[in-house]
Amino acid sequence: MSASHSAILLISCPDQKGLVSAVTRFIFEQGGNILQLDQHVDAEASAFFMRVEWDLAGFVLEREAIGTAFDLTIARRFGMAWSLHFSDDVPRMALFVSKQSHCLYDILGRVQSGEWKVQIPLMISNHDTLRPVAESFGIPFHVFKITPDNKAEQEAAQIALLKQHKVDLVVLARYMQIVTGALISEFHNRVINIHHSFLPAFAGAKPYHAAYARGVKLIGATSHYVTEELDAGPIIAQDVLAVNHRDSVADLVRKGQDVEKLVLAEAVWSHLNNRVLVYNNKTVVF
C-alpha cells in the first residue's frame, strides 16, 4: 500500500556490510517514515537488492534534491546502481497489439476504472483490426504494416513516435511481431511481452499447438522483458491452469487467454509500481 505521496528507491550493488543501515539512516535523518522495505541478497552472486518506500510527509529534502543527496552521500560510497521514483508519478505506456483483444480489454478496463494510474498516449498495431476498440476508449491508434522489407524502417518510425509521446513503458499485448534490437535497446528493460506458454517450454510460434501435441496437463503464460533472444528475456510473472484430454487446440487458446491477460497484468502492475529489478537475465520482484 502506498501513501498518496511517497518516494521509492530501487538499489542494487555488491553485497557488503552496512547497506540497509546506511540507506535507512539517510531516510530517517531527513525525517522520512518508511512504509515498506524489501531487500534481497543473492549469496551466490554476492549481490544486494533493495526497494524502500517512504512517506514524503515531513521529509525535509525537496524531491529534486533527493537523488543528488543520496548519490553523493550513500550510493557512491557503496557502488550502488539506483533509481528514484515517486508514487504520484503517472507513467506513460504504449500498447502494441495485433488482432486479439483479450489482453487489450483487460488493460483498458483496469485503466478506465482507475485501478491503474497510467497514461496511454497511443496504441500501435500491424493491423487495423482493433482500431474500433482504441477509438471507443479515445486512444490514438497507429498502424505500421510490417513486411520483411520495411521492418527496420517501420520500427524506426515507431521509436520516433514513442519518443515523441515520451513513452516510459512499451507493453506488447499479444503483438505478433518480433521487435528488434533498436527498439529493445531504446527501451531497455521497459518492453514487456506476454508469451502464451510456460517458458522455457514451447518458446516460439504456436505454443498451444505444441502443448496439445505433447499432451501436457497444464498450460501457462509468461510475461517477460524483451531481449534480443526470442522468448528468453527476464521473466517477471508466470502462471498456469489445468487442462485435460478433452481440450482441443481451440479450447487451449480460449482458456489460455485468461492466464495470458492476468499474467501480463501482474507483470505490468509490478513494473508500474517500481517493484522489479533485473540482473543476470532474471528478475527480483519485490
Q: Least Å distance between CB 152 and its own copies?
A: 30
Count the residues in the chain. Answer: 286
Q: Least Å distance between CB 113 and its own copies?
A: 5
Q: Least Å distance between CB 102 and its own copies?
A: 6
Pairwise CA distance, residues 36 & 40, whole Å: 14
Pairwise CA distance, residues 116 & 90, whole Å: 9
231 is catalytic: yes
Residue closer to its own copies by CB (options 133, 161) is: 133
Q: Which residue blocks in the chain are alpha helix, DSSP H?
A: 19-29, 63-70, 76-78, 102-112, 131-136, 151-164, 181-186, 207-214, 249-272
Coil, helix or strand at residue 9: strand
Residue closer to its own copies by CB (options 32, 159) is: 32
Cα separation of the two ends of the chain:
13
Residue closer to its own copies by CB (options 115, 153) is: 115
Q: Least Å distance between CB 14 and its own copies?
A: 12
Cell 522495505 -> residue: 37
Cell 481440450 -> residue: 247
- Of 55, 106, 168, 231, catalytic: 231
Phi, psi of 110 (to 5 degrees): -65, -35
Cell numbers describing residue 77:
560510497
Residue closer to its own copies by CB (options 161, 201) is: 201
Cell numbers describing residue 129:
483490426
Query: Which residues are designated catalytic?
Result: 231
